[in-house]
Chains A and B, each alone.
Chain A
Amino acid sequence: MNSAILTIAPAGTWNLDPIHSRVDFEVSYLAGTFKGHFNEIAAELTVDDERATLEGTTNVASIDVNEENLSAHLQSPDFFDAERYPELRFTAEDIRLDGDGQVSVGGELTIKGVTKPVTVTGTVTSPMSDPYGTERIGLNLSTTIDRTDFGINWNNPLPSGEPSLANDVTVLAELQFVKQGEENK
C-alpha cells in the first residue's frame, strides 16, 4: 500500500493496559501547579489502513488528589459534578502521524456534560513486543483546555483580586495499548 496517510499503529483493535496508563491534569493554583489524576480509566484504539480512532473515558469518582476531602470537593457540583456527570470522555475519529512521528488529533472532549472540540498533540511509540509476547504501543497525548468552557467556574480571589485558580488546565494521557487477541498469548 502506498498511502500518504500514516497510521499510528498496525491495524487492529488495541486495548488499554490501565495499570500502565495514566490520565493526569495540571492547573496553576496559588504559587504552584496543582496536579491530580484519575484512577479508573478506559480506552480503546482502533486502527485500520486509513485511520485510527480513539475513545477513552475516566470515572470522575476515581479522581485522586491525595486528600479525601479535596477529592470530594472536586466531585461536587462546584467542579466536576460527578453525580450528574459521572465520566469524562474523549473521542477522536482520525488520529494521524504528521511525518515527524508527532501525533495530531482533532477530537471531542466531554466534561460536565459539555462537549467541545479539542486539538490534542503527542507522540506514539513504535510497536514493541513485551516479555509476555504481547505487542504494545505507547501513546502520549496532551491538550490544554479552558475549564470554564466546560462550566467549571470555581475560583477564590487572592487578596490582590486576581483569581487563585487558573482557567487553563493541561490534561495529559500516557496510555499503553496492547493488541487485542494477543493478551496472555
Chain B
Amino acid sequence: MTRILGISGSLRRDSHNTSLLRAAAEAAGPDVELELYDGLKEIPPYDEDDDVHPRPPSVARLNEAITSADAVLFSTPEYNSSIPGQLKNAIDWVSRPVATNALRNKPVAVVGASTGGFGAVWAQAELRKVLSALGARVLDVELPVPHAHTRFEDGGLTDDEIRAALEDVLEALTDAAEQREGLKASV
C-alpha cells in the first residue's frame, strides 16, 4: 500500500484544486491510499523566533502527515503567476532545517487548476522549483487544468481526459515511492 498525502494550495471550501485532489483519491487504485491534508489554514506565519521545540501544533501535524506519507501530491492554484502565500508559508516551515526536512528525498508531484486558460502552469513550475530547492524528489510531470469551473460538477470531476492524466501522475508517484522503499530495504 502506497500512502500519498494530498495538499491543496487553496483554502476555499469549494476549491477546484481540492476537488482535483478528491478526484485523484477516487481515481487511485486499490493499492494507493490518498489522504487529503486539511490543516493548511491553521499554519501560522513562519517566524524563526517561533521555530523552536515544540513547534506549533499545526506545523507539527503537517510535518507528521508528510513524514508518514510515502509521497505527496500538491495541487496549486495560481495567484499572480505564482503559488499562494499560505502554501509557500507551510512549505517554508516544513523545509527547516533543510538538511533533515520531511520533504527531503520524498517523491512529490504537482498538479494545478485555474479558471483561466493556462491551468496554473506557472504556479506548478514555481512549486516544483521550491520543492526541488528543499531536496524533494520532484517528478517531471505537469497537469494543468484550465477553465476549472467547467470541469467539475458538485465538486466531482467531469473530464475523463484529466482523470486519466491524474491516474498517470498517481502511477508515477507510486513508482517513485516503491523505488524508494526498495532502496531503503536494500540498505
A binds B: yes
- Taking CB atoms, residues of chain A closer than 8 Å to B132 are 76-78, 154
What are the nearest 9 A-B pairs in CB distance? A76-B135, A72-B99, A69-B98, A83-B105, A77-B137, A68-B99, A78-B132, A72-B98, A69-B99
- Taking CB atoms, residues of chain A closer than 8 Å to B16 are none
Is there a chain B Cβ closer than 8 Å to A73's Cβ? yes
A83 to B134: give the CA distance in the assembly, Å.
14
Binding site for A on B (CB under 8 A): 97-100, 104-105, 132-138, 179-180, 183
Binding site for B on A (CB under 8 A): 68-69, 71-73, 75-78, 81, 83-84, 154
**Other 16 A-B pairs with CB < 8 A, given A73-B98, A75-B135, A81-B137:** A68-B97, A68-B99, A69-B99, A71-B99, A72-B99, A73-B133, A76-B104, A76-B134, A76-B136, A77-B105, A77-B136, A78-B132, A78-B133, A83-B105, A84-B179, A154-B132
- 29 A-B pairs whose Cβ atoms sit less than 8 Å apart in the complex: A68-B97, A68-B98, A69-B97, A69-B98, A69-B99, A71-B99, A72-B135, A73-B98, A73-B133, A73-B135, A75-B135, A76-B104, A76-B132, A76-B134, A76-B135, A76-B136, A77-B105, A77-B132, A77-B135, A77-B136, A77-B137, A77-B138, A78-B132, A78-B133, A78-B135, A83-B105, A83-B137, A84-B179, A154-B132
Least CB separation from B138: chain A residue? A77
* Minimal beta-carbon separation of B1 from chain A (angstroms): 21
- Taking CB atoms, residues of chain A closer than 8 Å to B133 are 73, 78
- Taking CB atoms, residues of chain B closer than 8 Å to A73 are 98, 133, 135
A161 to B132: give the CA distance in the assembly, Å.
21
- Taking CB atoms, residues of chain A closer than 8 Å to B99 are 68-69, 71-72
A154 to B138: give the CA distance in the assembly, Å.
13
A93 to B172: give the CA distance in the assembly, Å.
39
* Minimal beta-carbon separation of A45 from chain B (angstroms): 29
Check B98–A83 contact: CB distance below 8 A.
Answer: no
Q: Looking at the complex, which one of B104, B135, B183 makes contact with A84 (CB distance below 8 Å)? A: B183
* Minimal beta-carbon separation of A84 from chain B (angstroms): 6
